[in-house]
Chains A and B, each alone.
Chain A
Amino acid sequence: MNRRYIVAALLGFSSLAYAQDEPLPKADTILDRYVEVTGGKAAYEKRKNEVATGTLEFKAQGLKGAVTRYSAEPAEEYLIMEIDGVGKIESGMDKGVAWDKNPMLGPRIKSGAERAQALREGTFNASVHWREFYPKVETTGTETVDGELCYKVVLTPKEGNPETTYYQKKSGLAVKTTTVAVSPMGDVPFEVVTGDYKTFGGVTMPTRITQKAAGQEFSLTIQDVKINQALPADRFDPPAEIKALLSKAAEKK
């Protein structure tokens, strides 16, 4: 027998054997396992709000800043980024209204797929609630990310573009997500790499987040997360400029 054929046959056989021995786990299992390895549903449910603080950097541009994110049940969010030379960038979600405001583009209310995306990201303890947002989830294969074998899971939301998340086979932690982000400036291919998982208030979460989009790289380092804080009642109220836009839109109707 030709030696080359033997090698090829062996390789083919070993590949088949791997596939037969280790069928891909269902996406539901991988997503539920993520909740378990990061603390479990009960730990998540003890959390009613969260205040995360950290730093951010656009390394290539030399821009640095500070970030604070307030979030609370069920889907309240207020994010502030203060970047040197750029100013204060705010975004939020309050009673279903998703908005953002920055010194460059001004205040804006999100709608359509962009609002749906903001709602998925702004929902408190979002990892526990994945079934509410993704009617279809599917494990499509394995891939090595940073030397670790990962399951590749495609999550298709009710509205918006599918997201592909890579979960480490060994740890069950999510290490990368790719999607096409919806923004008023257009659909932008987007990659988020997550790492340095740490535990705050019983739930383990990534503290190093690197985002790549439109040729720009942006890194976020979470330094502290405080759970179940006494937040002011108006913490999630949109700023006056957003309220003015809401009033104007209501008048037009």
Chain B
Amino acid sequence: MRIFLACAVAAALCGQSYPPEKQRQIESFEKVWTTIRDKHWQKNPGGLDWQAIHAEFYPRILGAKSDEEAVTMMREMLGRLQQTHFGIFPAAVYNDVEGEGGGDGSTGIDLRVLDGQAVVTDIDPGSSAERTGVKPGWIVVSANARPLEPVIQKLKSDPAIHELALERAVRMRLTGPVGDSIKVTFLDGANAQVTRDLELRPERGQTARYGNLPPMRVFFETKKLGDTGYVRFNMFLDLVRVMGSFADAVQSFAQCDGLIIDLRGNPGGIGGMAMGMAGWLVDKPDQRLGTMYMRDATLNFVINPRADVFNGPVAVLVDGSSASTSEILAEGLKDLGRARIFGTKTAAAALPSIFERLPNGDGFQYATANYISAGGKPLEGIGVTPDVEVKLTRDGLLAGHDAVVDAALEWIRKKK
């Protein structure tokens, strides 16, 4: 009898063993709870007693009857923060976001989801898509005989998946190893089905390396549209080259009527680069784009005016795939009255957030800082609302027009 009692006490003290499914639920819950405790920018995340949150939810997780019920509880726990960028994506959806395909090879097609369809918006010069006559405005129907529409509909129906993730997931299906090819079926300008065998080549730009980040291809494009300067780059990375190119471009456009900075499709990168670029556009000292709040520091995104600042009108172009540093730069310049914003609402994903896989296979997203723009508004979950909302249309693209660029040029022309 005494031995039995001792064993029972020992079991109670040492913890119980659970079936594998329950163990995964517990480990996933602990991972989520501990991550918020250790990495949230507030010591009391969301102003809550986070230990009390554990005491409340742990027994509920133990009682959860299924993985789905446990995930619902974890979502409820994260919901108590009342902050965006904290979410759990079911494994099935997370797999769709991560996508099929993948690899360094690109068809050279850029696309956006317009009215539920993947529409070609741009084609890299010299790419197989250009060589085989693919045009902006064509609809991508399938890649290697796998239709895109079901993926788009599935991801669009999940409110947790924003435009940026949706377009990334779709674009991913047009990638693969360099040297392979993909059979892509389109609807052309006359809505006829056409299929092209597209060779996958390294993405446009140059390979950039930054610490532990995987190597990424970064391009910087600059041109003159009449008397207006235009710059576009796909990421705030490759710091030395992109900052140098931006400086050269702004200086070469010194006599231009205005400057267009195209941040559409730019998911961000190194936050500090936004400050550096703003230094070429803002002459007034002691200005800032905004402020980032972390657990042990508050960082002002200050602007150092350069000796030869560009003083003409500045238009910044954004869309739902403009995120993070793109949003910080666009909203900061808007708040300071230094730029007019054209396009569609941005991704509302300005915070440095991290995606991790939970023990149960679900995806877990969490933010490690908060950011308030110069005008006092958080960007997270709100995004940058353009001053002039202009949407790309398939008809416009087929006619060779970029409605957003056209609107910016028209504004600059009137400011002359």
Q: Is the CB of A106 within 8 A of B304?
A: yes
Shortest Cβ-Cβ A-B pairs, 7 listed: A62-B212, A62-B211, A214-B297, A87-B240, A61-B211, A244-B307, A85-B210
Q: Is the CB of B270 within 8 A of A104?
A: yes
Q: Is the CB of B295 within 8 A of A103?
A: no
B270 contacts across to A, CB distance below 8 A: 104
Q: A60-B212, A104-B273 are in contact. List 7 more A-B contacts (CB 8 A).
A: A84-B209, A87-B239, A107-B304, A188-B297, A188-B299, A213-B297, A248-B307
> B residues touching A (Cβ–Cβ < 8 Å)?
208-213, 239-240, 243-244, 270, 272-273, 275-276, 279, 291, 294-302, 304, 306-307, 368
B244 contacts across to A, CB distance below 8 A: 103
Q: Is there a chain B Cβ closer than 8 Å to A86's Cβ?
A: yes
A214 contacts across to B, CB distance below 8 A: 294, 296-297, 299
A-B contact pairs, 7 of them (CB 8 A): A85-B208, A103-B276, A104-B243, A107-B304, A185-B299, A186-B298, A215-B294
Q: Is there a chain B Cβ closer than 8 Å to A58's Cβ?
A: yes
A107 contacts across to B, CB distance below 8 A: 304, 306-307
> A102: shortest Cβ distance to chain B, in Å?
8
- Distance, CA A247 to CA B334, complexed state (A): 30
> B242: shortest Cβ distance to chain A, in Å?
9
C-beta contact mask, A80-116 vs B, less than 8 Å → 1, else 0? 0000111100000000000000011111100000000
- Distance, CA A244 to CA B276, complexed state (A): 17
A84-B209, A185-B301, A189-B297 known; A103 vs B306 contact (CB < 8 Å): no
- Distance, CA A166 to CA B302, complexed state (A): 33
Q: Is the CB of B239 within 8 A of A186?
A: no
Q: Is the CB of B300 within 8 A of A105?
A: no
Q: Is the CB of B239 within 8 A of A105?
A: no
Question: Looking at the complex, which one of A85, A103, A105 makes contact with B304 (CB distance below 8 Å)?
Answer: A105
Q: Is the CB of A58 within 8 A of B211?
A: yes
C-beta contact mask, A41-81 vs B, less than 8 Å → 1, else 0? 00000000000000000101111000000000000000000
Q: Is the CB of A103 within 8 A of B239?
A: yes
Q: Which residue of A lies closest to B237 (CB)?
A: A85
A63 contacts across to B, CB distance below 8 A: 210-211
Q: Is the CB of B239 within 8 A of A104?
A: yes
Q: Is the CB of B276 within 8 A of A106?
A: yes
Question: Looking at the complex, which one of A86, A189, A244 makes contact with B296 (CB distance below 8 Å)?
Answer: A189
Question: Looking at the complex, which one of B240, B243, B302 makes contact with A185 (CB distance below 8 Å)?
Answer: B302
> B217: shortest Cβ distance to chain A, in Å?
15
Question: Looking at the complex, which one of B211, B240, B307 makes contact with A245 (CB distance below 8 Å)?
Answer: B307
> B135: shortest Cβ distance to chain A, in Å?
37
Residues of A173-191 contacting chain B, CB below 8 A? 184-186, 188-189
- Distance, CA A8 to CA B297, complexed state (A): 41
- Distance, CA A214 to CA B210, complexed state (A): 19
- Distance, CA A86 to CA B212, complexed state (A): 13
